[in-house]
Structure 1
Amino acid sequence: MKFAIALFSPAHSPASRRALRFTEAVLTGGHEVVRLFLYQDGVHSASANTVTAQDELDIAEQWRQLISLHGLDGVVCIAASLRRGVLDEQEAKRHQRPAANLAAGWELSGLGQLHEASQHADRLVCFGGH
């Protein structure tokens, strides 16, 4: 089965942890993850500047490791990321900001990427949100 995963909540939220564990279970079960899509506050999971307390799980880092290990397509909504200060090199330069902070493994793109993923997946599973 093919899954598209959308995350709407930040890395420190229970929804993000559930999304990560669900994605791991999907992959362990031999299924395919068509795309991971971060939207709304979920884009904070793609920031390289996120620092987690020593006594907490670093969910953002675990997302990066999962993407790297499985070669997953990690997409961050560009409009949501710009509003929240998560920028790649191109957007930092375009908006005259001093630095980029998009973590490795993630790419900025439009909301259309979520729509496309849902068309190619058997299931779209969303975590978090308002």
Structure 2
Amino acid sequence: MPAPEAARFALVITGAPYTSQAPQTALQFARAAVAQGHTIDRVFLYGDGVHLASTLTCPPSDEADWPAQWQAFLKTHAVPATCCIASALRRGLLDEGEARRYEKAAANVAAPFVVAGLGDWLEATSQADRTLYFNGSH
């Protein structure tokens, strides 16, 4: 029986860590997909999902640090990750450029996440074989 062909995935995460299972479920999927030879082309954070990119998240020592785990996964597998700019700005997440633009004292978006518009997302979904949504709804 021939091995299945590797697929390319684009992931959308709309739920915040610690208030939904979306980031955890998406990370479990991403790890399993990569382990099976598939590719994650891009992760796109939208709505409350942008909280996953915050440098200010400080979970208790007995809880999983989902933002740190995502950062490590993205860096290890060279997966680009984008925060929707409108969602990020509404929720107080700024990269260096947006902090300067809005004359704010600091930036709080963790690398390798970047703040960008929907163009990045449209490009990723057009190149991916499948787009999966990990929603934060209850």
> Same fold, TM exceeding 0.5?
yes
| Amino-acid identity (%) | 42
Give the RMSD, CA atoms, in angstroms.
1.0
Q: Which residue is 1:41 aligned to?
A: 48
The answer as to whether partners of 2:21 and 2:136 remain within 8 angstroms in 1 is no
CA deviation after TM superposition for structure 1 residue 15, in Å: 1.5
Q: How far apart are the structure 2 equivalents of 1:68 and 1:110? A: 21
Q: How far apart are the structure 1 equivalents of 2:104 and 2:130? A: 38
One-letter identity of the residue aligned with 1:117: A
Q: How far apart are the structure 1 equivalents of 2:37 and 2:82? A: 22
Q: Which residue is 2:3 aligned to?
A: none
Q: How far apart are the structure 1 equivalents of 2:122 and 2:97? A: 24
Q: Which residue is 2:34 aligned to?
A: 27
SS at the partner of 1:112? helix
Alignment of 1:68-107 (within 5 A): 68-107=75-114
Q: How far apart are the structure 1 equivalents of 2:11 and 2:67? A: 15
CA deviation after TM superposition for structure 1 residue 112, in Å: 2.6
User: Which consecutive aligned stretches of 4+ in structure 1 deviate over 2 angstroms post-superposition?
Assistant: none
SS at the partner of 1:10? coil
Scaled by the length of structure 1, what TM-score is found? 0.96
User: Which deviates more from structure 2 when the two are superposed, residues 97-106 or residues 10-19?
Assistant: 10-19
CA deviation after TM superposition for structure 1 residue 48, in Å: 0.6
Q: Which residue is 1:115 aligned to?
A: 122
Q: Could you list the runs of 5+ residues in structure 2 that have no partner in the other structure? A: 1-6
Aligned length: 130
Scaled by the length of structure 2, what TM-score is found? 0.91
CA deviation after TM superposition for structure 1 residue 84, in Å: 0.5
Q: Which residue is 2:11 aligned to?
A: 5
Larger Cα-atom Rg: 2
